[in-house]
Amino acid sequence: MQTNFDEITGRKKFFDNVNKELNKLIDPATGKVKADLVEQVNCPNCEANSYDPLFVKQGFDFVRCKNCNLVYVTPRLLESATLAYYGDAPNQESMVDWLNVLANPTNQAWQIPYFQEAVDILAKLIPANGKILDIGCSIGLFMEIAQKSGFECVGLEPEPKSREYALNRGLDVRPQLFNDAGLPPASFDAITMFGVLEHLSKPKQMLADIWNTLKPGGVVMVIVPNVYSFANGTLHEQARTFTGRNHLSYFAWDTLSDLFKRSGYEVAHLDTTLAGLDAVLNHWQFNDPHTSLSLDLLPPKMRALLQDPEGRAKFEKFIRDWDMGLRLRLAARKPK
């Protein structure tokens, strides 16, 4: 039994409290989210209103658009309820838990190379010493790494505790949502949104809103969950990716590209990152996907492969290289 990353970083406590909070939204009579908290919506990408149902999880319906294939949640929480969660909302223990996860040294040691890879991708696409706006910057770890690489960074973070953490580290982080921030036109070489787009009720509108703030030839970079990752494709609704309150849209290689193209951007980079392998290996053995990893019940050759660090690294590389990584990374350019 291997050490559980979720336990060490506090992720388990976070997910446990998320589940408790979600249960409070459910109407016991229907098993669905309370009717006065939700609204029926069309596809956030193409605005079609025809879809195939995929599954129900924790009272939320997950569907796939028949027109563009985007996976999304409908009905979804009213925007007022969602904003209350991400703002200074009382009784949301999971928000405090998540800050503790982000500040955890083990978690940061894992995230630093993850964000460094993102910086390295941007460095090939924008001028050296360029100016980056990080929307939803959280505690500012990406900003710190980008600044060490010579970029100038401004962050936006409405959640007060995360913002305070970032400010205490000397970062330029502001409390407004993007449309309230009053940023000058053509003032940034890049705008980043890591773990943001899937939370937005109108992702296409956000790409339109940031257009004027981006310099001609500037780049938007996003990281979002990959709905058809190796892990999600294996676990389906058991995957932690699928949380109907927090994640409203679930992008694939094609649907993420389509969203940006519909918004006038030119895709300059698209790949996948992270393997999410432990949950899959547990699931294969009929264990809880999210418990500590055990290899005991795997076939001998597979077990030997995964016990060898080089063998496991090759397996994870295969997952990423074949577009099945846990997250999609896309950078798209605004035409000059």
Q: pLDDT tens across 118-132, in order?
A: 999 999 999 999 999
Residues 6+ apart with CB under 8 A from 158: 86, 87, 175, 176, 177
Max Cα–Cα distance, the chain, nearest Å:
60
Domains and CATH numbers, the chain: 5-333 (3.40.50.150)
pTM as predicted: 0.92
Residues 6+ apart with CB under 8 A from 327: 223, 224, 225, 226, 229, 272, 273, 274
pLDDT score at 7: 85
What count of residues does the chain have?
Answer: 336
Q: 180-201 in b/e burial notation, b at 16+ Cβ within 10 A?
A: eeebeeeebbbbbbbebbbbbb
Q: How far apart are CA 58 and CA 52, in angstroms?
A: 18
Please name the residue that has the structure tokens 């296409």: 204
3-state class of 232 per DSSP?
Answer: helix
Q: pLDDT tens across 24-83, in order?
A: 889 999 999 999 999 999 999 999 999 999 999 999 999 999 999 999 999 999 877 765
Q: How far apart are CA 265 and CA 203, in angstroms?
A: 14
The DSSP 8-state label assigned to residue 329 in this structure reads: E
Going by pLDDT thresholds of 50, 70 and 90, the confidence category of residue 3 is: low
pLDDT score at 87: 46
Question: Residue 1 pLDDT > 60, yes or no?
Answer: no
Using an 8 Å Cβ cutoff, are 159 and 140 in contact? no
